[in-house]
Amino acid sequence: MDKNLIVGGNSLVRLENGNLVNYINFDNAATTPPFQSVLNEIVDFSNIYSSVHRGTGYKSIISSMIYDEGREIVLNFVGGNKEYHTVVFLKNTTECINKLSYRLQDTLKDKVVLSTYMEHHSNLLPWKYRFTTDYIEVDSMGRLCLEDLEFKLKLYKGKVGLVAVTGASNVTGYINPIYDIARICHSYGAKILVDGAQLIPHNHFDMKPIDSPEHIDYIAFSAHKMYAPFGTGVLIAPKNTFEKGFSEHIGGGTIKFVSIKDTIWADPPEKEEAGTPNLMGVVALSTSIKTLQNLNIQNIEEYERNLTKYALDLLKNIPQLILYDDMNVEEKVSIISFNMEGLNHDELATMLAREGGIAVRNGCFCAQPYVQRLLKISDEDMKKYMNDESLLRPGLVRISFGLYNDYNEVYLLAYLLNEISKDIEFYKNKYRNSPFY
Ligand SMILES: Cc1ncc(COP(=O)(O)O)c(C=O)c1O
């Protein structure tokens, strides 16, 4: 796909040897560069930009309309139901899941929440610290064990109220069979939250009709991972989630009436969005969704899948490279994690940046329990790392493609990895005294 779709796609960076090369961004799972269309719209819309839900001027009225229209665009994009669901705009996926966990405290008071070993900390910590939790296991390749899901649903005898699962892993890219999981959860009376941060930007997603046993009850995702910076996160949930009680943040915009004695809360979603809404964030997200729809999300899916297959085919032949992947490209998004024998993940990531101008991420990617499983580190050994900060942390190197990455870039990465693998000691010595970051 065309690099000009995004801003910064033709940036140059200087290598260790002084040469200028095209910057290769393989860190899209962390955050994507903006779509050009998004930035154009932000500049155009600045002529109208004004307060939301707070003014009678023409610009305020239009701004409020555009903001609310954003909810419809988002709902449409994920197949939500206007009568049943509400779209809450927050800051990012993390804030969305925190809100949901806060607002479900009463509903899930005597229940168990199942999360998984595969989760990003954002879909783990908010549950771990508010509820009785248990975690669905992954198999030796890191795929989620559906047998363990059923086992735990049976074990807790109808007490599981929610299963919080990622749509796609931010470490391996594995896509979870969310519709099968939804069917299983519903048959045991549990609801399902899908953390869509890594799924929504890459794959077609549908919440499915609410009378389908496969429907998704809650979804959360981040605009900054879908070519729309400016800080918007989306939480979609049934309206009745927010009927009782009130938001963890309260203030301007959250009430219908307030006196010193009484408060009548606004209806959701306004009740859940305290303070001045992030209009530019919503304009950016709406534009990004329109661009993704114009490009056709199925085409994006296919393009990225082929690129991932090409990458895996090259990487699997590189000596010393350890892939954390079951090679099933049909069931993963465009994320690949690896290590090279004889090198620390910090060292390898730094070499890729300095030798090839290739941006990757390394470490545990805010998914420590999952990386621990993938690296087969015992709990005992984990404790050693916890107790001794001077030890080199375990971790992986991750590449993640956006729709604008191309085959040539993947080839250059594989070429460089191959060169490094041929003379690890040379590269190790070269970067021995480099500060890693
Ligand atoms: C699977 C997954 N969930 C949640 C998050 C958190 O997203 P954010 O940082 O936008 O809140 C991320 C971010 O990398 C992620 O990959």
CA of 175 to the centre of ligand 1 (A): 15
Q: Residue 433's pLDDT is what?
A: 73
Arithmetic mean of pLDDT, 405-416: 98
pLDDT tens, 323-339? 999 999 999 999 999 99
Residue for token digits 């140059």? 12
The percent of residues in the chain predicted with pLDDT above 70, rounded, is: 99
- Reply yes or no on whether the pLDDT at 434 is more than 90: no
CA of 371 to the centre of ligand 1 (A): 15
Q: Residue 431's pLDDT is what?
A: 85
pLDDT tens, 57-89? 999 999 999 999 999 999 999 999 999 999 999
- Reply yes or no on whether the pLDDT at 397 is more than 50: yes
Q: Specify the ligand 1 atom closest to the Cα of 225.
A: 10
- Contact by Cβ (8 Å): 172, 332: yes
How many H-runs (helices) and E-runs (strands) does the chain carry? 13, 17
pLDDT tens, 204-244? 999 999 999 999 999 999 999 999 999 999 999 999 999 99
CB proximity list for 380: less than 8 A, separation 6 or greater: none
Q: Specify the ligand 1 atom closest to the Cα of 195.
A: 3
The percent of residues in the chain predicted with pLDDT above 90, rounded, is: 94
Q: How many CA atoms are closer than 13 Å to the CA of 55, on its beta-carbon side? A: 15
Neighbour count for residue 275 (Cβ, 10 Å)? 11
Distances from the Cα of 247 to the Cαs of 76, 103, 259, 291, in angstroms? Answer: 25, 7, 18, 33
CA of 265 to the centre of ligand 1 (A): 30
Say whether 115 sits in a helix, a strand or coil: strand
Q: Specify the ligand 1 atom closest to the Cα of 94.
A: 11
CA of 227 to the centre of ligand 1 (A): 14
Residue 222, H or E segment: strand 218-222
Q: Specify the ligand 1 atom closest to the Cα of 169.
A: 1
Arithmetic mean of pLDDT, 135-159: 97
pLDDT tens, 44-57? 999 999 999 988 99
pLDDT tens, 293-327? 999 999 999 999 999 999 999 999 999 999 999 99
**Ligand 1 pocket by Cβ (under 6 Å):** 29, 92-94, 120, 122-123, 166, 170, 195, 197-198, 222
pLDDT tens, 162-214? 999 999 999 999 999 999 999 999 999 999 999 999 999 999 999 999 999 99
Say whether 130 sits in a helix, a strand or coil: coil
Q: Residue 68's pLDDT is what?
A: 97
Arithmetic mean of pLDDT, 392-420: 97
334, 366, 370, best to mutate for ligand 1 pocket (most atoms within 8 Å of CB):
366
CA of 285 to the centre of ligand 1 (A): 16
Stated pTM of the model: 0.96
- Reply yes or no on whether the pLDDT at 437 is more than 50: no
Select the more confidently predicted residue: 94 or 431. 94
Q: Residue 435's pLDDT is what?
A: 60
Delineate the domains of the chain, giving CATH numbers in brackets: 3-30+297-432 (3.90.1150.10), 38-294 (3.40.640.10)
